[in-house]
Amino acid sequence: MSTITRIEITHHQLPLDPPFPASWDPQPRTKFPATIVRVHDSGGRVGIGSGDAMYGFADYQRYFLGEDPLDLDRHAAVLSNIEFHAGRPWPMDIALWDLVGKIRDEPIWKMVGGRSNRIQAYASSGVHRPVAEMVDVALRIKALGFPALKVRFGRPELDDDLAVISAVRDAVGDDLELMVDCNQGWRMPWDTQRPWDVDKATSVAQRLEAERVYWMEEPLHRGDYAGMAELRTRVSISIAGGEMTREPYEFRELLARNCFDVFQPDAVCTMGISGLRHLAVEVERAGKIFTPHTWGNGIGVMANLHLTAGTVATPFIEFPFDPPEWSTARRDYVLSDTIEADEDGWITLSDRPGLGIELDETTLARTLSGHASFA
């Protein structure tokens, strides 16, 4: 039996010049932080994870040292206890799955169910651009072969958001699915804007329906279950959410109360691969769509690709992509190879063990930072 001998956590910051003006953050980003978790075992193998900053995790490392890496359910149970007491520790779960894949010589997509090694990607934009530029973005995304594009709302005037979606629809016709992220579910720490209420969400949803938008993402605060259930009775557009929702009981409640058509928890922020592989199947059995949020670095994208392709059928998965501010080179700077979709928007996962990734150690050394800072 191998045992866990060491857990190494490093923080990195890639300077962003030009900055990335993320539509959901009032402050343009001048750096892209990443936290890398490496779990070493007695056989000399190293599992890799990333995602949240692992705030407060140092206090809990000892509960994993000396343990058998293969005991994934036990580790996930400890991690969910840690999550209750500290931050989101799920990068550790990702690293353990990568390590177990290396021990078993099996890719994660097979370990979680082996349903498929292929999944189609939708382009997820992240910048508020003027109408003409958004039309150019949409035409480029369509020409690149992506089946769908997600557009961000949140400009100072809602009418400007609506003008974008209507111009984009006119330009691309019905050959490209469009989704709209309203980003009302949660806020950055410094953003005190109130979320929409159900009447406001309803009026926006009706406008999106008229533009044949496939799903409306996070139209209300993440805890407004009554509002979401009510919204779903008023409109027919699919309602998506749950990207940062934390706990299994919250998802059960969201399912029971019919709040969403599309469930989007991200394995590096919520329940890990260990928890979401089961939730994904539950969501599918309920006749809903499971397709994770993946906005973050390439390790998170890869973890969610394996999880989703290996467990359920889904129309497509988020592929954060909005060059030049959000290129695959920036997004995947911690990896030696960027993750790319083919000319029809498909991503094929390899048979390499675990996540099948390699770290770019030169870039990691150059971007090493003493501490985690997401602010």
Positions touching Mg ion (CB under 5 A) are: 181
Q: Closest residue to Mg ion, Cβ-based?
A: 181
For the CB of residue 106, give the shortest distance to Mg ion in the complex, in Å. Answer: 31
Q: Nearest approach, Cβ of 220 to Mg ion (angstroms)?
A: 13
Cα-based distances in Å from 130 to 14, 25, 162, 166: 27, 17, 12, 13
Whichever of 177 and 181 has its CB closer to Mg ion, that residue is: 181
Of residues 52 and 181, the one with the C-beta less far from Mg ion:
181
- Return the number of the residue (23 or 120) whose C-beta is nearest Mg ion: 23
Residue 57 Cβ vs Mg ion, minimum distance, rounded to whole Å: 25
Closest contact distance (angstroms) between CB of 241 and Mg ion is 8
What is the nearest approach in angstroms of Mg ion to the Cβ of residue 293? Answer: 6
| Cα distance between residue 320 and residue 121, in whole Å | 9
Residues forming a β-bridge with 11:
35, 369
In 104-245, which ranges are E strands?
Answer: 118-124, 148-152, 177-181, 215-217, 238-241
Give min distance, CB of 24 to Mg ion, in A. 7
The residues facing 348 across adjacent strands are 118
Residues in CB range of 121: below 8 A, 6 or more apart: 146, 316, 317, 318, 319, 341, 345, 346, 347
CB atoms within 10 A of CB 252: 12
Q: Which is nearer to Mg ion, 96 or 289 (CB)?
A: 289
Round to whole Å and give the CA distance between 191 and 27.
9
Q: How far is the CB of 244 from Mg ion (least distance, A)?
A: 9
Is the CB of 38 or the CB of 187 nearer to Mg ion?
Answer: 187
Q: Is the Cβ of residue 149 or residue 357 nearer to Mg ion in the bound state?
A: 149
**Of 111 and 149, CB closest to Mg ion:** 149
Distance from C-alpha of 214 to C-alpha of 362, rounded to nearest angstrom: 41
Cα dihedral across residues 323, 337, 264, 238: positive or negative: positive
Q: List, in sequence order, every beta strand (DSSP E) within 288-331.
A: 289-290, 317-320
Q: Which of 311, 197, 290 is nearest to 238 (CA)?
A: 290
For Mg ion, give the closer residue by CB, 262 or 355. Answer: 262
Query: 218-237 burial by CB neighbour count: b if 16+ within 10 A, else e?
Result: bbbbbebbebbbbbbeebeb
Number of other residues whose CB lies within 10 A of the CB of residue 325: 18
For residue 152, the minimal CB distance to Mg ion (Å) is 8
Give the whole-angstrom CA distance, residue 183 versus residue 54.
Answer: 24
Sign of CA dihedral 335, 52, 218, 313: positive
Q: How far is the CB of 185 from Mg ion (least distance, A)?
A: 7
Q: Looking at beta carbons only, is 4 or 237 nearer to Mg ion? A: 237
> Do the beta carbons of residue 334 and residue 298 sit within 8 Å?
yes
